[in-house]
Amino acid sequence: METQTKVSGGAKDFFLNLGAFVSLYILVGNLFSLLFTIIDTAYPKISDSYNYYGSSSLSWPVSALVVLFPIFIFLMWLLAKSYAVEPEKQHSITHRWFAYITLFLSGAIVVGDLITVIYYFIDGQELTAGFLLKVLVLLIISSSLFMYFISDLMGKLNTNSRMVWRFVAFFIVVGSIAWGFAVLGSPKIQRLYKYDEQKVNDLQSFQSEIGVYFSTNNSLPDSLESLETSKHFSLKKDSQDGKPYEYKKTGKLSYELCAEFNKASNDKISKAYPYGGALWIHPAGRYCFSETINPNIYSYPKAMPISY
């Protein structure tokens, strides 16, 4: 019975390994997410797709890294400590299964990474700086995991080598977070961008409701308060300072929607998003978006009388 306990590792060994490896997988996933977000911002892909501030947020991956990395290091330290006392636990069924799963996943990522690069090259697609950086990120992190756990399974890790790997992991995680703040801005800057994003969303909502109003009344509203006749619409105010948004008619079919923005749209990540004809790229400070109603879209013929 004692031999079987040492081979299986027992309940404590199982849950320590489970916690360590689950933390590792979530940690690596969020690390990839953070680094890809940074790369997409610094080296945006040239396309017609819409990309605004929200898709470039580092809040969640940084939060996950800050919480999970110390937990992962602590659990791995507990495992290493137990292995120093009982070396046979390092070869327990639980630990070997998790290690082999990690080897398989990291190896698959490396192979898939190399296949993708070769495919892009043979297919004649452009190997952009952003794409190559993502490939490099996947290659470095996955290869590091593979090397660590293959050494672990072969019994080549000792106290000093484990400490070196911890410093490498610490450097990668902290360096990634620092790079993220350098590219995307501090938490304070991120909050200002979130306010600006909400302002654009509110103006888009006004634009849509103005179109509905025009289709019903065949004219533009005199003020935003006129839109409150709709049961499905409530007049929004600037969530940052509580002030009402500005609206001004500039013609029978044209108008302006104005707001005060904290930061200029990042031209690297913001595209001209044609929402009903408006382009939602703006500078810092007060800015007005000009819009013109297309009567062919928003005007509808009156209903024909029904004959019996």
Evaluate whether residue 304 is within a structural domain: no
SS3 247: strand
pLDDT bucket at 275, cuts 50 / 70 / 90: very low
139, 92: one domain: yes
Residue at 94 is within a domain: yes
Number of domains in the chain: 2
DSSP annotation of 279 reads -
> How sure is the predictor about 303, in pLDDT bands with cuts at 50, 70 and 90?
very low
d(CA 219, CA 290): 17
* pLDDT confidence of residue 228: 75
**pLDDT value of position 1:** 38
Q: Which of 185, 209, 240 is the last residue of a domain?
A: 185
For 286, which DSSP code? E
Q: Does residue 204 share a domain with residue 159?
A: no
What is the share, in percent, of the chain residues with pLDDT greater than 70? 83
178 and 247 belong to one structural domain? no
Same-domain status, 199 and 113: no
Inside any domain, residue 308: no
Per-position b or e across 30-62, b if 16+ CB within 10 A of its CB: bbbbbbbbbbbbbebeeeeeebbbeebebeebb
User: Measured between alpha carbons, how far is residue 246 from residues 30, 201, 207 in Å?
Assistant: 40, 14, 12
Instruction: Give the integer Cα–Cα distance in Å for 201 and 121.
Output: 40
Q: How confident is the model at residue 167 (pLDDT cuts 50, 70, 90)?
A: very high
Q: Which of 185, 209, 228 is the last residue of a domain?
A: 185
236 and 194 assigned to the same domain: yes
Residue scoring higher pLDDT (20 or 300): 20
Are residues 101 and 13 part of one domain? Answer: yes
Tell me the range of 179-183, 231-235, 270-274 where mean pLDDT is highest: 179-183
Given 165, 185, 205, the domain boundary residue is 185
Which range of 20-24, 46-50, 78-82 scores highest in mean pLDDT? It is 20-24
Predicted TM-score (pTM) of this structure: 0.67
Please report whether residue 212 resides in a domain.
yes
Q: Are 141 and 224 within one domain?
A: no
Q: What is the residue range of 141's domain?
A: 2-185
Tell me: do 210 and 161 sit in the same domain.
no
306 in a structural domain: no
pLDDT score recorded for residue 266: 63
pLDDT by residue (tens digit) across 69-96? 999 999 999 988 888 788 777 778 888 9
Q: Residues 236-245: pLDDT tens digits?
A: 888 888 889 9
For residues 29 and 142, is the Cβ–Cβ distance under 8 A?
no
Given this model, what pLDDT does residue 164 score? 92
Residues 60 and 93 in one domain: yes
